Every structure is written in structure tokens, then in C-alpha cells.
Structure 1
Amino acid sequence: MPPTARTVTGVLAWLGAVVVATGTGLAAVSAIGVSIVGADQQVLSPADVEGRLAAAGAPAGPVPTTAPSPGTSTGTSTGSSTAPSTAQPPAPTAFPTDGGTVVARCVDGGVDIVTASPAQGWRIHDEAEEDRGRVRFEAGGRRIELRLSCSGDEPQAQVRN
């Protein structure tokens, strides 16, 4: 067999192996996906979600997009309340900075820091300043401090570099 024929045969054998391996991989991934979520699972459109919520008696409306990151919720408040409130707390407000993002809302006793997430390369200063409505991000010699307060039901942030 001439060298060119061997090369062509080798390339064709390799391509055949690639096709078989790809097909086997796709079949395996499809089987795994079906066994995890079930064959009857489907992605719902926003209209489908609202329809199902309405049918279940849940209030319709936009889903909040600000959620606490796992492990970053401080849950601290500057004041205390003696009786639980039945009213919905106001929606939290995000305050992004170069050092990180603080999400806060106003509650009966003052400002509640929902989350404080440092940006990459930054950290939150170790003192328990969150209890006083302050969060300080540090990186190297830089500091960014947020002093949080409430104006009515709206949280306000004073940023100091």
C-alpha cells in the first residue's frame, strides 16, 4: 500500500472514531440530563410563570432581582423592634462602589444592611461597623467607606474614599 493510501486510510479511520465518540458523548449527556430533570421538564417563559402564579393565587408582578449572595448576609440592624411587623419591608437598594456593593433597606429601627459583598481584590474591614450603619472596604492602602442612613423609607449612602 503506497504512503498516500495509508495516510488517507488513517485520516478516515480517525474521522470515523471522532464521529462515533461525539455521538456516544451526546447520547450520554442527553441520557444524564433526562434522568436528572425528567423528560417532561421544560423552560417556562415569563408569561407562563405569571399565568401559573395567578392560577396558584400568588400576587403577580416583577420578581425582585436583588438577592443576597450566599454567606454574605449580615442581617444587622441599627435599631430594635419589640413586635414583629406584618407589613412588607421596603425593597432593598444596592449601593455599588469600586470596593464592593452594599445592599440595604430601611426598617422601623433604622437601616438594615442586607448584604455587603467586596469586589475582587477587596475585603470588608473586620470591625463590626455594620452594626452602626457603616461598611468599609479595603484593598492595599485604599479604603472606601459607606455610611448608611434612612430618609423616610429610602436608604441613603454617603461614600467616603
Structure 2
Amino acid sequence: MTTHSTHFDSPVGRLLALAANDAIIALHILGGKHPPVPAEPWLDSPRLPVFLQLRQELSEYFAGQRRRFELRLAPAGSDFQQAAWLALTRIPYGQTRSYGQQAAAIGRPAAVRAVAAANGRNPIAIVVPCHRVIAANGALTGYAGGLHNKAWLLRLEEGAA
């Protein structure tokens, strides 16, 4: 499997996108936690159709014109991580959930810490909106792309960015 890559700038900083088999497998805010490490060289492919679609959809999102992404996604993770990430995609634009609510949504109400860990390993920032998960007391906690970016994304979705 060939992994394709591209970089581009955004309001939350420089982004690195990875794709394989016409699906996005990673989107990272550079400078954040858990940057991807290539097992083999990535093929720089900025004109790959899935990257063109990603750029378009992110541009619309950052302009406040897109609330739902339509990209084909293929993040690699355990079954538990996949369930946690799928639950993230079901949090409506402009809304937040607590880690406990997310754990309950996947049928594992006692797995709050495991859900938080899975969110911390979410390989597809913004599109798989782990920024929409906050502490039960309303505090902003943990975001691999930086808490300032999490706050900015939430303000964007509230119409205040």
C-alpha cells in the first residue's frame, strides 16, 4: 500500500494529510502531539483527488460554510478506537459532549479514560471532531493539536471565530 502525503496551511496551523487507497488515513496539525512517523517513504501527492476534496471541504469548514465532511476515511486503530472515533463523527456541528457521554454512546459507560485515550490518538483531526469532547465540568481538556486550537475550532462552530 502506497501512502500519499501533502501539507497545507490552515487557520489552526500547518496540516499534514495522509491518504491510501483513495481514503484519508491521517490529518495532523503539525506541532501537536503524536505526529505520524513513516514506516516507509510517503509519496508527495498534493494533486491527489482525495487531497483536493479535503482541501475544498476544509476551506468550506473554516469559512463556516460546511458542517459535515463527506470524505472517505480509513483511520487505523483497534476496534475500541474505531468505535470511539465513529462516535465522534456523530457529535453534531456546534455541539459538545463529555468523555462520559461519549463512553455511554459506544455502550461502555465505565470506559471514560479509555475513550479519552482513544480521542488522544485520533489520527484524523478536525474531520473526526475530537475537539467537540470536553470535560464533564465544561473545561477544555486534552487536544493533540493544542488547546488553543481546540478552543478556536469550538468558537468557529459557535459562529464566534
Highest RCO, 1 vs 2 (Cα 8 Å, sep ≥ 6)? 2
TM-score by length of 1: 0.21
- Give the strand-richer structure, 1 or 2: 1
TM-score by length of 2: 0.21
